[in-house]
């Protein structure tokens, strides 16, 4: 786990440093709508931008103001402090309005802080619908992104290279699926914290290295016999964007719960599904990154998102769902309320928590609410065990 933990808990891990030493470019991106395979095809390391290691908000507050999601603010804060100096480029995507504003605020901050805006700074637009014109629009945006990368970095991104990249990434996706299947068994041999660290690491480690290490880890997991789930409540974690390992630790360190699944932008939702290796690679990438998106920014897909969540609850045998949203995250704040309504109606206990991204200054409050939630699941289990069996006529 060391290589995964290091990658998941550092803005610039050893793998990034080594890549830079080899003289190869690194490009940061803000959202899972930017196809990582495109960068692999150009021998560019794609690094998902995160806000970990943030220690203050003086830069971010100046350009963003106080009443906005703290995730893009933390990214801007780190940029202003020079934490992203290793980047040769950055791609901003309007995953939400806060992320859209990051493009404007970062550029504006660059007028006051020399060198914080990379030479290559690109706005990658994404539609809110995947049907018809939305899919055509996205494919055109991908083509424009490819042209831009080719021109700036003097590289060639061919269809053959894209097909090879898709196959390479699919290898890792299949291994992640194997690990995910382990979490659905009665005896769970791996913690949610470790699985999440491994998936986050996949957004920053060079893909060939990542797949090699992931395969070794999956092989070791399959040989484990010790169950981590006995006498613990099986819960899922869903909601706002999160790459914070300590959020998982906060839940699992209660010693009363194990996270058997998550529905987060950085987790298995982003990494887990394979991409078609047949046909036009651009169409395959578009079908995956836009067509299969389950992000609440996408219009008209709530029923599909609810079904996916129910299926994951069934697969992992989750006994409850913890729904977190970062303060001022309207997308997940509203959708979590709908999820809670519909899941509670079918008997699945839910907990909604609003929080700030970054250092958990409210960890005590969250832990208190999580413990109370686990006690509620306990009470529900006790009630079920004492109910008399119904007898059919």
Residue linked to tokens 């943030």: 54
pLDDT at site 156: 98
For residue 392, pLDDT over 50 is answered with no
Alpha-carbon distance of 170 to 277, in angstroms, equals 9
- Cβ proximity of 180 and 217 under 8 Å: no
- Residue 198: Cβ-neighbour burial (10 angstroms; 0-12, 13-18, 19+): buried
Q: Which pLDDT tens digit goes with each residue over 200-234? A: 999 999 999 999 999 999 999 999 999 999 999 99
Averaged over 165-193, what is the pLDDT?
Answer: 95
Nearest to 71 by CA among 43, 40, 36, 96: 96
pLDDT at site 386: 54
Q: Which pLDDT tens digit goes with each residue over 252-263? A: 998 899 999 999
- Cβ proximity of 239 and 332 under 8 Å: yes
pLDDT at site 382: 66
Q: Which pLDDT tens digit goes with each residue over 14-58? A: 999 999 999 999 999 999 999 999 999 999 999 999 999 999 899
- Cβ proximity of 237 and 329 under 8 Å: no
For residue 391, pLDDT over 70 is answered with no
Averaged over 307-321, what is the pLDDT?
Answer: 95
pLDDT at site 390: 41
**Average per-residue pLDDT for the chain:** 92
Write phi, then psi, for 297 (nearest 5 degrees). -70, -20
Q: Which pLDDT tens digit goes with each residue over 52-87? A: 999 989 999 999 988 899 999 999 999 999 999 999
- Cβ proximity of 268 and 262 under 8 Å: yes
Categorize the per-residue pLDDT at 163 as very low, low, confident or very high, splitting at 50, 70 and 90.
very high
Alpha-carbon distance of 231 to 166, in angstroms, equals 41
Q: Which pLDDT tens digit goes with each residue over 96-126? A: 999 999 999 999 999 999 999 999 999 999 9
Architecture of domain 15-159: 3-Layer(aba) Sandwich (3.40)
Nearest to 116 by CA among 151, 74, 80: 80
pLDDT at site 380: 79
* Domain residue ranges in the chain: 15-159
What number of CA atoms fall less than 13 Å from residue 326's CA on the CB side? 24
Share of the chain above pLDDT 90, in %: 85
């Amino acid at each position: 786990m060391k290589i995964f933990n290091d990658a998941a808990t550092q803005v610039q891990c050893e793998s990034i440093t080594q890549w830079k030493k080899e003289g190869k470019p690194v490009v940061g991106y803000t959202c899972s709508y930017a196809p990582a395979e495109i960068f692999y095809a150009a021998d560019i390391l794609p690094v998902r931008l995160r806000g970990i290691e943030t220690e203050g908000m003086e830069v971010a507050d100046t350009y963003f103001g106080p009443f906005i999601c703290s995730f893009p603010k933390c990214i801007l804060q780190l940029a202003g402090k020079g934490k992203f100096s290793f980047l040769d480029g950055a791609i901003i995507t309007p995953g939400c309005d806060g992320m859209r504003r990051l493009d404007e605020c970062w550029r504006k901050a660059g007028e006051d802080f020399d060198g914080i805006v990379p030479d290559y700074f690109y706005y990658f637009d994404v539609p809110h619908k995947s049907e018809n014109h939305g899919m055509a629009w996205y494919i055109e945006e991908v083509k424009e992104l490819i042209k831009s990368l080719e021109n700036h970095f003097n590289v060639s991104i061919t269809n053959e290279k894209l097909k090879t990249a898709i196959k390479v990434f699919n290898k890792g996706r299949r291994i992640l699926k194997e690990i995910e299947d382990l979490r659905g068994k009665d005896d769970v041999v791996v913690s949610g914290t470790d699985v999440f660290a491994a998936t986050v690491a996949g957004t920053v480690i060079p893909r060939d290295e990542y797949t090699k290490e992931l395969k070794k880890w999956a092989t070791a997991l399959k040989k484990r016999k010790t169950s981590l789930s006995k006498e613990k409540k099986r819960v899922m974690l869903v909601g706002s964007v999160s790459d914070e390992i300590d959020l998982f630790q906060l839940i699992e360190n209660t010693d009363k719960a194990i996270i058997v699944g998550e529905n987060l932008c950085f987790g298995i939702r982003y990494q887990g599904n394979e991409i078609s290796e047949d046909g036009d690679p651009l169409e395959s990438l578009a079908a995956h990154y836009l067509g299969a998106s389950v992000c609440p920014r996408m219009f008209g897909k709530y029923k599909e998102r609810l079904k996916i969540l129910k299926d994951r609850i069934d697969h992992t045998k989750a006994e409850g769902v913890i729904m977190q949203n970062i303060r001022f995250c309207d997308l997940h704040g509203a959708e979590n309320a709908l999820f809670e309504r519909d899941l509670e109606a079918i008997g699945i206990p839910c907990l909604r928590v609003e929080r700030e991204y970054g250092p958990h200054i409210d960890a005590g409050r969250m832990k208190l609410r999580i413990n109370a939630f686990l006690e509620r699941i306990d009470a529900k289990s006790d009630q079920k065990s004492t109910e008399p069996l119904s007898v059919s006529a």
